[in-house]
Amino acid sequence: MKKKNTEHAHGARYAAVAGDEQLIREFRPLLESKGFVLLMAHDTHAIRAAGAALAAGLELSMSDGSTKKDSLLLLEEHLPASAMIVSSSVTVTAARQASWMRHPERLIGLCAFPTLMNGPLAEFAIPIGTAASIVRSAHALFAELGIEMVTVQDRVGMVLPGILAQIINEAFFAVQYNVATPEDIDTAMKAGAGYPKGPVEWGETIGFPNIVRLLDAMRSESGEERYRVAPLLRELSVSGTFWHANIASEAAVQEVLQLGDALQPDADASAHTQGREKKIKRTR
């Protein structure tokens, strides 16, 4: 039924989308509020049916390899030749992505990063080979969405995602080294430094795997040790949940402590238990 609507809706405009669910979910309301109908990239029948009414292809993923490449090639194959392809270039430079394409002049890099999709401006990276007409079309499209395009150099991390990843990473080093509780760190940065969100809660909203993926990409791209990931953050990116949210009850805390105590000599058990209980409570 949906396919029929796209085929016959007179005057409708379309955008084809591929990528991470979280990013699509964040960007979708803005596009739809401006009258765009979103088509998923794998729905090639609907994309072809949309024809010239398809304004752009959006590749919104934080992946760093074949998934992104596959999505771009899919969009390129099925989109009309005139349609621009706007792709997240936070973890892979736009230039590298352009090198995967048969028609690289269609590509523009966008700072598509969780929690940053609905601001009044957005960072863009424009590879050397991008056609001037595509840049003009992108300006027009994003102006219509109420987003000012700010062009930055084409590099992994762009501007704000790189800064955020570093802040969040440092917060997790601080948590890991017991400098302060996660709650106190968030309070400190909001009340003491004017941050809109605490770095711990911000990291949780962005998604720990996304932060780790970005830091790893920045480290790999720059070769700089300063982007090494806090071990706790990497651990959380694997567990996929906030570290203290796993402990649901006092009973569960006790269970965790008892499991740990089984590994301690009796004489030291009490002191170890007290120490760890305090630490866990501070972080809950």
Partner 1 sequence: MGIAIAHLAALNKCTVALYDINDEVIRRALEGIRVSLAHTVNDTTFTKDDLQLALERIKKRTQLADLDTCDIIIEAAMEDLRVKKDLFKKLDTITHYTTRLVTTTSSLSITAIASATKKPERVAGMRFFEPVLSRDLIEIVTGINTSDETTDALRAAAGKLGKRTIVSRDTPGFVVNRIQSQFFGEALRLLESGAASAAAIDRIVQLQGGFESGPFRQIDTMGVDVHFEESYSLFERMFTDPRYRPHDIERRMSDAGHRGKKTKKGFYNY
Name the residues that contact partner 1, by CB under 8 A.
Answer: 111, 116, 119-123, 150, 152-153, 155, 158-160, 162-164, 166-167, 169-171, 174, 177-181, 184-185, 187-189, 191-197, 199, 224-226, 228
Return the number of other C-beta atoms located less than 10 Å from residue 85's C-beta: 25
CB of 11 to partner 1, least distance (A): 32
Report the candidate in 189, 254, 46, 206 with the shortest Cα–Cα distance to residue 38: 46
Looking at the Cβ atoms of 65 and 194, the one nearer to partner 1 is 194
CB of 15 to partner 1, least distance (A): 21
Q: How many alpha carbons fall within 13 Å on the CB side of residue 133?
A: 6
Residue with tokens 């304004």: 55
Looking at the Cβ atoms of 41 and 141, the one nearer to partner 1 is 141
Looking at the Cβ atoms of 145 and 167, the one nearer to partner 1 is 167
Distance CA(163)–CA(114), nearest Å, equals 14
CB of 187 to partner 1, least distance (A): 5
- Single-letter code of the amino acid located at 144: E
CB 156 within 8 A of CB 93: yes
CB of 262 to partner 1, least distance (A): 29
CB 257 within 8 A of CB 277: yes
CB of 39 to partner 1, least distance (A): 27
What sections of 79-207 are H helices per DSSP? Answer: 94-100, 132-144, 160-176, 182-193, 199-206
Looking at the Cβ atoms of 123 and 204, the one nearer to partner 1 is 123
Looking at the Cβ atoms of 100 and 195, the one nearer to partner 1 is 195
Looking at the Cβ atoms of 131 and 180, the one nearer to partner 1 is 180
The helix, strand and coil proportions of the chain, stated in percent and rounded to the nearest 5, come to: 55, 15, 30
Token readout for 164 is 């955020």
Residue with tokens 């790189």: 162
CB of 58 to partner 1, least distance (A): 18
Return the number of other C-beta atoms located less than 10 Å from residue 55's C-beta: 22
CB of 175 to partner 1, least distance (A): 10
Looking at the Cβ atoms of 49 and 175, the one nearer to partner 1 is 175
CB 45 within 8 A of CB 7: no
